[in-house]
Structure 1
Amino acid sequence: MARLTEAAYTGQPWRIHEFAADFLVEDVWSFRTPGAGPGDFPVMLAALRTAGGLAEQSAPARFLFAVRWRLGALLGWDERSQGVGTRVGSLRERLPADLRDAPRGHDDEAMPLEPVYELPREAVRELANKTVHTLMHLGWVESADGGYELRMTVLVRPNGGFGRLYMAAIAPFRHLVVYPALTRQWERAWLERETGGPV
């Protein structure tokens, strides 16, 4: 697992740069995928769909998510009126014609983020609630050892001062619990992608 600088995202020729400039870069992380080649991004996405769901995360991470969803239910943070297509427009409304025609991808119904588009080396999902409009950008990048690795960038548009306060409050939990657990889960998903067990 490695946390990267913002330049690791901005320095790549991603299509998302064309229409998400008003989103702030919150986090950039890399995930090791030993043996990966340039065309393996779809393989990684398939592995994540098989073994990368929220239910597969560590007990501390599941607990934090359960607390967050409970608070959201009590305080109305996640009501439909606060989501994509109501409080904020979907990123899909900004896409150029070629991306609107590209596959969106698909996920388990339990996945809270909605697919926006999926390309051979790049994919985007989004989520909005009362606190933020957030994007999860996944990219496939050549690594220092000559192979390829997965990079995840979290981009946000906080909903006013409350949204900025919320993002600051959850930062320690993301960095100390959620992302390390996600790294172990996603890297294991890659290693187990072909045989159903460690390779």
Structure 2
Amino acid sequence: MRVPNNVLKTQRWIITDVVHDFDTEDVWALPITGGRDDFETVIDLMHSIDFPGSASLPARLLWKIRDLLGSVFGLGRISTSAEDSGTWPPVPGTDELSLIGRVPEELRNTATDSHLKDKPFRGLYVSDFEFAEEMSNRTMYGVMHLGWVDQGDGRYQAQMTVYVKPRGAVGKAYMALIKPFRYAIVYPALMRYLERIWTERRGAR
């Protein structure tokens, strides 16, 4: 479920300094729980997801429509993998082509081989309780952050936060336009999908 953005203030995350000039777009408590040592399994699961390929028909259609509009209006395709996307536009308002320079030195190169399957993300870092990847397109620069949040009594829950920096008025308008569709279609489909595959994976252990 979606949780208030100020829930981030209850934890001291490394990502806070990395995205200090970004907007917090969404914070979601994912239907993924486990023990302290299960975070690596969570990351492996996120790497292997087939989304929206295995999502509901409305979510898949929305994805295809966005890619079609991206081709028509020169916004790029959100389904293009990071490996195929070439050189990214820089972080808005900076000359940085990546946020990796903002990551603490000891954590750089900890996620260089990580990417969500066939999705436009590049790894930033992995720590004991955090995982972050970045993406860039012609409407915004974004970061997907996973946190493994201590719930007490040895139980942890995955929390996903999306940070964005829109590219000017077009980027802001685009983010505002797609927000209702993300809340009504994309995120609910993603939550159901994650819950199903996490339950299946845990049941197989």
* TM-score class, shorter: 0.7 to 0.9
Structure 1 CA distance for aligned equivalents of residues 120 and 37 of structure 2: 27
Say which SS state the counterpart of residue 158 (structure 2) adopts: strand
Superposition TM-score, scaled by structure 2 size: 0.84
Aligned counterparts, 1:46-57, within 5 A: 46-57=44-55
C-alpha contact 2:2 2:29 (8 A) present in aligned 1:
yes
Q: How far has the Cα of 1:54 moved from its partner?
A: 2.9
C-alpha contact 1:139 1:150 (8 A) present in aligned 2:
yes
* CA separation of 1:41 and 1:156: change in aligned 2, threshold 3 A: same
Deviations 1:128-165 (A, max 9, x none): 11111111111110237762111111111011111111
Quote the residue 1:98 is aligned against.
106
C-alpha contact 2:89 2:138 (8 A) present in aligned 1:
no
Structure 2 portions without partners, runs of 5+: 92-96
Say which SS state the counterpart of residue 3 (structure 1) adopts: coil
* CA separation of 1:140 and 1:108: change in aligned 2, threshold 3 A: closer
C-alpha contact 2:51 2:190 (8 A) present in aligned 1:
no
Superposition TM-score, scaled by structure 1 size: 0.87
Deviations 1:16-47 (A, max 9, x none): 1122110000110101234x101111111212
C-alpha contact 1:158 1:164 (8 A) present in aligned 2:
yes
**Equivalent residue for 1:166, pick from 168, 174, 178:** 174
Structure 1 portions without partners, runs of 5+: none
Quote the residue 1:118 is aligned against.
126
Q: How many pairs align?
A: 194
Quote the residue 1:133 is aligned against.
141
* CA separation of 1:22 and 1:184: change in aligned 2, threshold 3 A: same
C-alpha contact 1:57 1:181 (8 A) present in aligned 2:
yes
Deviations 1:161-181 (A, max 9, x none): 111111111111010100000
* CA separation of 1:103 and 1:49: change in aligned 2, threshold 3 A: closer
Structure 1 CA distance for aligned equivalents of residues 189 and 69 of structure 2: 22
Say which SS state the counterpart of residue 40 (structure 1) adopts: helix
**After alignment, is 97-106 or 152-161 more displaced?**
97-106
Q: How far has the Cα of 1:57 moved from its partner?
A: 1.7
Moved over 4 A (4+): none
C-alpha contact 2:103 2:124 (8 A) present in aligned 1:
no
What is the identity percentage for the equivalent residue pairs of Structure 1 and Structure 2?
36
C-alpha contact 1:114 1:125 (8 A) present in aligned 2:
yes
Structure 2 CA distance for aligned equivalents of residues 150 and 84 of structure 1: 31
